[in-house]
Amino acid sequence: MASGKLNPRCLSLVLLSVLAVASAEVFFEERFDDGWEKRWVKSDWKKDDNTAGEWNYTSGKWNGDPNDKGIQTSEDYRFYAISAEFPEVSNKDKTLVFQFSVKHEQKLDCGGGYMKLLSGEVDQKKFGGETPYSIMFGPDICGYSTKKVHAILTYNGTNHLIKKEVPCETDQLTHVYTFILRPDATYSILVDNVEKQTGSLYSDWDLLPPKKIKDPEAKKPDDWDDKEYIPDPEDKKPEGYDDIPKEIPDPDAKKPEDWDDEEDGEWTAPTIPNPEYKGPWTPKKIKNPNYKGKWKAPMIDNPDFKDDPDLYVFPNLKYVGIELWQVKSGTLFDNVLLTNDPEYAKKLAEETWGKNKDAEKAAFEEAEKKREEEESKDDPVDSDAEEEEEAEEDGHESDSDSKSDSDSKSEETEESTGHDEL
């Protein structure tokens, strides 16, 4: 784990880079090189009922660098809980950047790929779903409806979900998720170094009661005119308007040649809707000159709002953890970072995910091709069986067809018999 300040001798090489990175502090960095097992503690959570899953130390089935390993969930229908400790840190007056990469090799239908930051003292052997956390961040997928990046902040003992939708990646490749929290209470969420969401802690989470509320005492004044349109008082009903009949005799109708007035009575043309008829008269509408707009209660300061200038502060961050339930395993985590420097995080993402992503994609496509080839190799047997099944089904279909044919025939016979009787 590289922690602490960068080597001062490196910094002195170029003045500009000194200025750019002089303030870079890395609180935690884990690339899962050799020795990672000494830094991470596997929790005993769920071990008693044999539902604690094993982690696989691997670069996965496809990757851009077989030597760049991470940790991957390896058993289906299992709980996973693992954490690492770092020297306690507060982000007061500092930007906080939490970043990691995640790859769902299993074509995830429903499950999370998020990580947590924990504060204070935590018994890592007991770390689990009930352990309080400060921040939970990362992708969450379930069916078609949930494909989002979670960003949950714990404030005053309550977990608050982000109110904005942040879409996550859903393919089977590595992606980098970055959460940036700034001392001005703004935040950004990046996926693969591209900003997907940004805003304020005040507006995008309900951490505090709202600053302003509608005045509960306010009432719409009696003389408030909120009708946007009114009937035009100048408009008058045209003379003879009500004399226009709704229906008129069809001018195209002709008395049938074989019509016999004596026997059939006097012939009258059938009526049709009158194209001149426009319905009951209503005056046309005009803009109301006295329209005041929709009435809204005035906003007042919320008496329950008390600002917290430390809204963004997590004063004693100390652990990073993964706590998941997985139906289908295969989620691989790597390159976990906690720093105060977004530029450092961006560079790390470029040097890892950025450097390997094309080769990883090529390896994935190769693996997919192999899988498809193997499937089609198995196929001939399958498709023969399918064809037989289909032929059988066809036979059934024609059976039922002929049955329904004969049914309708017998119906016809019955009908014709009835006619004959009449």
Ligand X SMILES: *[C@@H]1O[C@H](CO)[C@@H](O)[C@H](O)[C@H]1NC(C)=O
Please say which residue, 21 or 155, places its beta carbon nearer to ligand X. 155
Q: Are 108 and 140 in contact (CB under 8 A)?
A: no
Q: What is the DSSP string of 133-192?
A: -SEEEEEEEETTTEEEEEEEEEETTEEEE-SS--B---SSSEEEEEEEE-TTSEEEEEET
> How far is the C-alpha of 190 from the C-alpha of 76, rounded, in Å?
29
Residue 231's beta-bridge partner residues? 285
Count of CB atoms situated within 10 Å of the CB of 160: 17
Nearest approach, Cβ of residue 193 and ligand X (Å): 26
Give CA–CA dist 124/129, Å, rounded: 12
- Rank residues 189 and 363 by Cβ distance to ligand X and give the closer one: 363
Among 28, 52, 53, 60, interactor with ligand X by CB under 6 A: 60
Interatomic CA distance for residues 96 and 310, integer angstroms: 13
CA distance 171 to 223: 60
User: Which positions from 141 to 160 touch ligand X by CB under 6 A, shown as an x/- string?
Assistant: ---------------x----
54-62, 117-125, 316-324, 414-422 -> range binding ligand X (CB under 6 A) = 54-62
C-beta closer to ligand X: residue 18 or 207: 207
Query: Closest CB to ligand X among 21 and 311?
Result: 311
Q: Is 357 annotated as a binding residue?
A: no
Is there a binding annotation on residue 133? yes
Chain residues 63-92 in contact with ligand X, contact rule CB under 6 A: 74
Neighbours of 1 (CB within 10 A): 16
* Residue 200 lies near ligand X (rule: CB under 6 A): no
State in angstroms the smallest separation of the CB of 363 from ligand X.
12
CB of 1 to ligand X, least distance (A): 23
**Cβ(135)–Cβ(357) below 8 Å:** no
Residue 114 annotated as part of some ligand binding site: yes
Of 3, 56, 188, 193, the residue at the interface with ligand X (CB under 6 A) is: 56
Smallest distance from ligand X to CB 155, Å: 7
Which residue has tokens 């008082």? 233
Any known ligand binding at 140?
yes
Identify which of residues 248 and 325 has a Cβ nearer to ligand X in the complex: 325
Q: The tokens of 354 are what?
A: 């950025």
| Nearer of residues 319 and 333 to ligand X, judged by Cβ | 333
Cβ(115)–Cβ(70) below 8 Å: no
Q: How near is the Cβ of 308 to ligand X at its closest, in Å?
A: 6
Nearest approach in angstroms of CB 65 to ligand X is 14
Query: Annotation-wise, does 319 bind a ligand?
Result: no
Q: Hey, what are 125's tokens?
A: 């052997």
Scanning 8-16, 55-63, 265-273, 363-371 for contacts with ligand X by CB under 6 A, the matching segment is 55-63
Of the pair 27, 62, the CB lying nearest ligand X is at: 62
C-alpha 22/C-alpha 341 separation (Å) is 10
| Residue of the chain from 58, 186, 193, 288 that contacts ligand X (CB under 6 A) | 58
The C-alpha atoms of residue 94 and residue 134 are separated, in whole angstroms, by 16
Paired residues of 316 in beta bridges: none
Residue 137 sits at the vertex; the CA angle it makes with 111 and 306, to the nearest 5 degrees, is: 130
Binding residue ranges: 114, 116, 133, 140, 323
Binding residue ranges for an alpha-D-glucoside: 114, 116, 133, 140, 323
Contact set with ligand X (CB under 6 A): 56, 58, 60-61, 74, 156
